[in-house]
Structure 1
Amino acid sequence: MKILEWSTRNLAVRDRFPYWYDTMSQAHLHAWLATDDPARFHASARVFDLGTVQLSMMSHHTLRVNRPAKLIRRSDPEVFQLHLLLGGAGGLRQAGREVTVRAGQFLTIDSSRPYQGWRGPDGDPAEALLVQFPRDALGLRSDVVGRLAAAPFPVRPGITGVLAGHLKHLADNAESLTPHSARAVATVTLDLIAAAYADQLGAGDSLTPEARRQALLSLIHDFVRQRLGDPDLTPETIAAAHQISVRHLYKLFQEQGLTVAAWIRRSRLEQCHRDLADPRQRSLPIQSIAARWGFTDAATFSRAFRAAYGMSPRDHRNLAAAGHAPN
């Protein structure tokens, strides 16, 4: 997978903003950029090319951006950009709307419409995740999606929370993706964005069957992860929480090649494996860690751990303490 990385850290003061201007105009939409204080300007970006989807992690001091109609006539890739602001604040004027966006909110920009915006403020850099994708990639009508241009919406429990978590995890782990897995992740990302947009627009019926299935499965995964420590977590409680039948739940997991119980057990074991290698938790009894993640019987936990990792929980902890635990 192609990964591009830029930083102004080692550049002379006079070169920082011009360098950023040139690189961002090539990596993203061509727009006019300005900063109020070039002498204090610093920025960095990592751009992950997933094929259909481009994901960027960006950090920069205050910027003002202008993409007028004449730039659009000169070059328009016909894409949407979905921004997730992680720190700082910003503003956008597009499609007859003028809005302010803050950390913890999503914001959509349409490349085919003129816009002006800013992001800052002065002081700590603004941080954001940016997903760029073709206008027709979601399986939703472009004019319907366009209703969300300059219409921020918050990250909250449900599909927007799942989408935010997915993007953050992807930004942290994209380097490990193979080209094949990058394409698969791009498809999942588009399905989640489509579901989040449909949720905001009250247009759930317009989702493709695959996008609807992926959104439901992601919501179920998130629900289970939040409740791994509950020993009474069952397929029945999971199905009821998502208003589906247990049979439908089993079918969703069969398509992944796992049973519901196997996925829950694997997820619990992964958490135990991580915590047992954590030096900050070395004083905790092994069974306390196991119980935290839903294993109430020590013998059952030990057998499951050995089957998954080829060693006992105690041996794994000791190897981690010695500095050479296997992954």
Structure 2
Amino acid sequence: MKILVTGTAGFVGFYTAVKLLEMGHEVVGLDSINDYYDVNLKFGRLAESGIARADVAYGALLQSSKYASYRFVQMKLEDTEQVQALFAAEKFDAVCNLAAQAGVRYSLENPRAYVDANVVGFLNILEACRHNGVTNLSYASSSSVYGLNETMPFSAEHSVNHPVSLYAATKKSNELMAHTYAHLYGIQCTGLRFFTVYGPWGRPDMAPFIFTKAAFNGDTIKVFNHGKMKRDFTYIDDIVEGVVRVILQPCSANADWSGLEPDPSSSSAPYKIYNIGNSDTVALMDFIQAVEAAAGREINKEFMPIQPGDVVATFADVSALERGMGYRPSTPVTEGMRRMVAWYRAFYGV
């Protein structure tokens, strides 16, 4: 297939594009390359996929030097005319939207960036699919949509009406918008709620990277809620396997769906929501110990109260993914962090 993958200078998008290319698909990658975190890491990912930093120019489609079937364009999703023109010219068979303004805490400081990229940008994707005959759309949601829900493990059939960050609210809005377009225009829309993704080339604003960096730099990490947090840490390879399966197996309408007892995870329209997590929640202090073991160093810690917008625990029920896609994430954090620390040492020369 010819597939548009947005966010390919980002963590999950980079890996997804490479996986699809290795499977023989044609990929067009798109990313705004914003400066939310270190752009050197983003350009490093692009270089790994054969896109030279010096060649990147806004709006210009670049040919990869590594993959004959990969091209990349720097573009903002909220740039309506450019997005429409790209769809009209390329005639995609499928779209996987992994681009977003990420981060819970940053949404407290810069809320408009989230509406621009995550709401306006996603609307442009939906409209471009609608007007260019693309009926296979998958997209990244987030475990953050569960908000104040305390029922564990989190199920895609649970209500997500109480988000506690604007980031989470924009991700829930993506799910609602996707359902509308599935219902009105028959676009097959599958959303994936990611649970704390980590691994080589990971995001430097997330705990696994911050902890790894602190181990080698001697920095002090802030341990929120005095360490009484749990996360469903999910290794990048497990995430990408799920993403690719969803792209290749687009959802269909649920024939048994009833408006009298509505299942939030499916619909009478071609719409589906999956959790994708390791389904093995890990105490924060145990995860820090896994980082220390992989790095062979102890990390300095400052214990802090919980941050606004944070949730105490995440834990994914992935049974729907297992039933629908025949797949269940499985990489343990000890092995995942061993691989991440090995990459960190090589990339940063420590």
- The normalised TM-score by structure 1 is 0.30
The structure whose RCO (Cα within 8 Å, separation 6+) is larger is 2
- The normalised TM-score by structure 2 is 0.29
**Structure of higher CA gyration radius:** 1
